[in-house]
Amino acid sequence: MEDAIRSAVGVNSRGVRSGTAGTATDFTRAVRGKQGAPSGDVLHYPSRSATGISLRQFAILVNRNNKPPLYLDEKDAVDRFLTGIANTRAIALDTEGASFHRFIDRIYLLQLSTREASAILDPLTIGVPDGLGALLEARKVEVVFHDADYDLRLLHQDYGWRVTNIFDTRVAAQLLGIRAFGLAALLERFFGVKLDKKHQRADWSMRPLTQGMLEYAAQDTEHLLDLRDRLGHDLEKLGRSGWAAEEFARLEGTRWESEDDREAFLRLKGARDLTRRQLALLRELVTWRDDLARTLDRATFRVVSNETLLEIARGAPANRATLGAVKGMPRGILESRASEVLAAVERGRAVPENALPRFPRAQRWERDADFDDVVARLKSVRDEAAERLDLDPGVLCARERLELVARRRPASVEQLSEIRELRTWQIEVLGQGFVRAIAKSGKALEAERARHGTNGES
Ligand SMILES: [Zn+2]
């Protein structure tokens, strides 16, 4: 999946932006060339006439990189392919979900590349490819992703797989100080490869998939092992392989965290500007909308957008006519479900004063008088190191972690290393500086107290 999509597709209340979906009209299969393993008799090659691909297209497919995508939608073919790659030591993997189109995200496509072969597996027809799971969970096989997080969640949610021995090219690029770390930017930077972006927002849950969509999907893993090698080499040169290994180890076991859905409406953009009464309406409207989206398995914004729900919460329409006048109100919903929307508004209006929703207070902790001062000192240690290492400061150590350190005030590097959220490599780079900065702030505080003691409140 592309980074751009992931950022466009928000989390709950699955409030996603609108966009246009591609439509598929023809079903085609791509075949791969004979170069490299697995051998031809292991694989099932559909004949050209069976694919419906023109001779010209066929030639282009087979010639490109000698590794055109092999689309596998039959269990036997998948098993043969997986048998063919059983001894591989490295697999590049990507998944396509459909969170831009559906309420419940799941894996609609699996793309993988070894050093010799690429394939696209269609989980809608083959079911769970257990053989692939065994490879991904095997320690001896390195699994390469670009931005593993979301893929790992889906793989765990849908199949229960726990992928081990991970290499994430996004993380590697960030640890090298590369600011444009999207897959497309990296492939262009290192290999001059320009990724085609036209199917970025395609609906991967639809069938049949077009030739163009399959080729597009295949791009996501085709160059990933080469990219891994290049980034791995550069990490080694800079002495940062250990940093990367630590980050990759932490990715193991990534899974969905169930979030508190009852509070999701408070996170909608614009909710903070509502009165508490309007928030009560919004809560009912979001609950109604998300239930319907779940039933239809359609992305929430495709049912009614967040903006429109906010409009309804503000206007509190009492009848069909006023509801119909709300900006962005979809005609289809108005025709078939106006009474449901009006009932949600009514429920919001009926909430008693003392039960109206409110935003939770900002998180509090023991906040010393000079907390901000300590954070500022830690930040300058971090920024200086980031400059020296040519790293993005947020990659070197995020602000939340600086605040964690400021709260604990470790007196030694040993105490610092008890903070679980800090990586060993971060402590190596920043530990001494952090401890010194904290000690200084302590001294400054003592000195100030001493001054108060002598000059002050007599
Ligand atoms: Zn992808």
pLDDT tens-digit profile of 335-372?
Answer: 999 999 999 999 999 998 988 998 877 655 556 668 88
pLDDT tens digits, residue range 226-251? 999 999 999 999 999 999 999 999 99
State how far the Cα of 132 lies from the Cα of 272, in Å rounded to an integer: 46
109-113 and 118-121 strand pairing? antiparallel
In angstroms, rounded to a whole number, what is the distance separating the alpha carbons of residues 129 and 422? 36
Please give the distance, rounded to the nearest whole angstrom, from the Cα atom of residue 260 to the centre of ligand 1.
28
Residues 8-19, mean pLDDT to the nearest whole number = 31
pLDDT in tens, 298-319: 888 999 999 999 999 999 999 9
Share of the chain above pLDDT 90, in %: 64
Q: Do domains 261-355 and 371-455 have the same CATH topology?
A: yes
Q: Is the pLDDT of residue 195 over 60?
A: yes
CA of 208 to the centre of ligand 1 (A): 18
Find out if CATH 1.10.150.80 is the number for domain 371-455: yes
> Do residues 326 and 312 make contact, with C-beta atoms less than 8 angstroms apart?
yes
Do residues 210 and 28 make contact, with C-beta atoms less than 8 angstroms apart? yes
Span from the CA of 217 to the centroid of ligand 1 (angstroms): 6
Residue 1 CA to ligand 1 centre (angstroms)? 3
Domain 3-251 sits in CATH 3.30.420.10: yes
What is the value of pTM for the model shown? 0.72
- The number of beta carbons lying within 10 Å of the beta carbon of residue 453 is 10
User: Does 47 or 231 have the greater pLDDT score?
Assistant: 231
Question: What is the pLDDT, as a whole number, of residue 201?
Answer: 83
User: How close is the Cα of 151 to the center of ligand 1, in Å?
Assistant: 9
Nearest of 41, 2, 42, 47 to residue 28 by alpha carbon: 47
SS3 40: coil
Residue 143 parent element (H or E)? strand 142-145
Report the C-alpha gap between 426 and 381 in whole angstroms: 12
Residue 47 Cα to ligand 1 middle (Å) = 27
State yes or no: pLDDT of 44 exceeds 50: no
For ligand 1, the distance from its centroid to the CA atom of residue 2, given in whole angstroms, is 5
Is residue 327 scored above 50 in pLDDT?
A: yes
**Per-residue pLDDT band at 23 (split at 50, 70, 90):** very low
Cβ contact 199:22 at 8 Å: yes
DSSP 8-state code for residue 205? T
CA of 333 to the centre of ligand 1 (A): 33
Rounded to whole angstroms, how far apart are CA atoms 216 and 229? 22
Region 307-333: what's the mean pLDDT? Answer: 95
> What integer is the mean pLDDT of 147-171?
94
Domain boundaries, the chain: 3-251, 261-355, 371-455
C-alpha 187: how far from chain center: 19
Identify each DSSP E strand in 158-212 by its residue range. Answer: 166-168
pLDDT of residue 29: 22
Q: How far is CA 45 from CA 39, 77, 125, 160, in A?
A: 11, 9, 18, 31
CATH number among 1.10.150.80, 2.60.34.10, 1.10.3720.10, 1.10.357.10, domain 261-355? 1.10.150.80
Distance 234 CA to ligand 1 centre (A): 24
What CA–CA distance (Å, rounded) separates 317 from 313? 8
Task: Please give the distance, rounded to the nearest whole angstrom, from the Cα atom of residue 37 to the centre of ligand 1.
Answer: 24
Q: At residue 250, what are phi and psi to the nearest 5 degrees? A: -70, -20
